[in-house]
């Protein structure tokens, strides 16, 4: 039984930035390995029971220095890569959804992730559960996803409960898996924000190569080392062919190009234009 741990970030509107919903997919073997790895990293860097272990530097305990906090996050992401955990994210430009209430934006993001997660479960011939970080306003939508599935613009539904057997919630510090998901999503957020001009590029260049390895993808036909992430671990919404404002569309292309630049491994991208979702 796979487990998908999901959260949101970049919630508040900032012009030119992206609202992000995403998380990590664990197999049972991955879950045990990540639990051990996070426990070991906490002990190695002096975290005590009850201490938050998250990406946000301001939430670290006072006796863990910023440099130590930066290093332990890097090591956790390296652990995730080594273990084989997979990441799925959805990004939407704030300027395209600023007129939608948060509830709508979050529900849309969860829809995208539920569809992607089901696709992964089908590929793995597996079943799974999907847990989001505590959000009391999401209960009705999680029930809808299980009962009805994904509602399409046509009014039809795509069922997901054939593969996703449980939708639920968890919260920070309720598991080491939650810490791992928070750190991975926080690192992804930092790289995305850097790509749009609100971060330090050298830091993003250090973070993103391992994140690119963690993100779910499939091998590109005819290639030995490259993989395709768009439509698998990376979902840019709306699709660029449905975006009519050139500045908005360019923002998605610029994000993809920047993430490609941060990565040491060009993933599934031929020479020429960089498509959104290929990094």
Decide if 187 is inside a domain: yes
Looking at the structure of the chain, the number of domains it has is 1
User: Greater confidence, 225 or 143?
Assistant: 143
**Residue span of the structural domain in which 132 resides:** 2-262
Tokens 């999901």, residue located: 6
| CATH code for position 126 | 3.30.420.10
Decide if 271 is inside a domain: no
Decide if 18 is inside a domain: yes
Question: CB neighbours (10 Å) of residue 58?
Answer: 8
pLDDT tens track for 175-221: 999 999 999 999 999 999 999 998 899 999 999 999 999 999 998 87
pLDDT of residue 95: 93
Decide if 278 is inside a domain: no
Structure letter (DSSP) for residue 199:
S
Cα gap 207→227, rounded to integer Å: 19
pLDDT of residue 105: 94
Decide if 270 is inside a domain: no
Alpha helices in the chain (DSSP H): 28-44, 66-83, 94-97, 102-124, 139-147, 176-195, 201-214, 246-262
pLDDT tens track for 62-75: 999 999 999 999 99
Q: Does residue 235 surpass a pLDDT of 90?
A: yes
Tokens 């046509």, residue located: 154
Decide if 268 is inside a domain: no
Decide if 203 is inside a domain: yes
Query: Confidence class of residue 273 from pLDDT cuts 50, 70 and 90?
Result: very low
Mean pLDDT on 160-187: 96
């Amino acid at each position: 039984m796979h487990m998908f741990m999901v959260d949101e970030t970049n919630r508040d509107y900032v012009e030119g930035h992206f609202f992000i919903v995403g998380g990590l997919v664990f197999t049972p073997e991955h879950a045990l390995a990540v639990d051990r790895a996070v426990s070991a990293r906490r002990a190695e860097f002096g975290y005590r029971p009850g201490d938050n272990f998250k990406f946000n530097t301001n939430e670290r305990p006072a006796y863990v220095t910023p440099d130590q906090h930066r290093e332990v996050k890097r090591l956790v992401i390296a652990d995730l890569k080594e273990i084989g955990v997979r990441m799925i994210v959805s990004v939407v430009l704030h300027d395209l959804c600023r007129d939608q209430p948060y509830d709508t934006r979050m529900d849309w993001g969860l829809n995208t992730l539920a569809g992607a997660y089901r696709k992964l479960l089908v590929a793995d011939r597996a079943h799974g559960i999907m847990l989001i970080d505590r959000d009391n306003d999401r209960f009705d939508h999680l029930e809808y996803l299980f009962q009805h599935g994904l509602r399409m613009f046509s009014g039809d539904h795509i069922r997901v409960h054939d593969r996703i057997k449980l939708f639920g919630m968890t919260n920070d510090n309720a598991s080491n898996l939650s810490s791992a998901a928070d750190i991975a999503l926080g690192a992804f957020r930092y790289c995305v924000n850097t790509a749009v001009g609100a971060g330090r590029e050298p830091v993003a260049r250090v973070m993103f190569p391992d994140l690119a390895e963690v993100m779910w993808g499939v091998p590109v036909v005819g290639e030995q080392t490259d993989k395709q992430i768009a439509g698998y671990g990376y979902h840019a919404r709306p699709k660029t062919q449905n975006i009519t404002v050139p500045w908005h569309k360019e923002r998605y292309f610029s994000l993809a190009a920047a993430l490609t630049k941060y990565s040491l491994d060009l993933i599934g991208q031929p020479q020429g234009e960089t498509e959104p979702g290929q990094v």
